[in-house]
Amino acid sequence: KKRRFQCKSCRSVTVAETSIVEKNCQISNLVRQKVTQLLTEKVSLTDIARRLRVSTSTVYRKLDQFTFKKHYDKLPAVMSWDEFGFKKGELAFVAQNYETNELITILDNRRQTTIRNY
């Protein structure tokens, strides 16, 4: 929990700050690193949240920070794509190289304009 301290003379309030936990944050840096590690493995997001005792929105926020390093100037010779349920009632688009099973992208929606712009 956040630890607040009040100065008795001037009544100003400060928040405790350590090298383990950033200011105004309740999650330690080690837990954030573990979330990142588990996101690279084949583990569901809710399972990660349950294991580390954090909210699923924290895991989603960490997932949004991921960026793919590879930039594709051209598409592979054989490509597969599909749509899947991303959020309740919404579908997302996933594309991968069929021969190597390498993930190309995951887009938030499956609209033609979004796919074309990517």
pLDDT of residue 86: 73
Shared domain check, 58 and 10: yes
pLDDT of residue 72: 64
The residues, any chain, with a CB within 8 Å of residue 74's CB and separated by 6 or more, are none
pLDDT of residue 21: 62
Beta strands in the chain (DSSP E): 4-6, 13-15, 79-87, 90-97, 103-107
Shared domain check, 40 and 8: yes
Shared domain check, 10 and 50: yes
Shared domain check, 12 and 42: yes
Q: How far apart are CA 118 and CA 105, in angstroms?
A: 9
Q: What percent of the chain has pLDDT over 70?
A: 82
pLDDT in tens, 11-56: 888 776 666 666 555 677 788 888 888 888 888 889 999 999 888 8
Which residue has better confidence, 1 or 98? Answer: 98
User: Does residue 112 carry a pLDDT above 60?
Assistant: yes
* 71 pLDDT tier (thresholds 50, 70, 90): low
Token pair in block for residue 25: 């944050």
Shared domain check, 60 and 8: yes
Which residue has better confidence, 57 or 1? Answer: 57
Burial of 63 (0-12, 13-18, 19+ CB in 10 A): middle
Domain of 22 in residue numbering reads as: 4-64
Shared domain check, 93 and 56: no
DSSP letter for 25, please. Answer: -
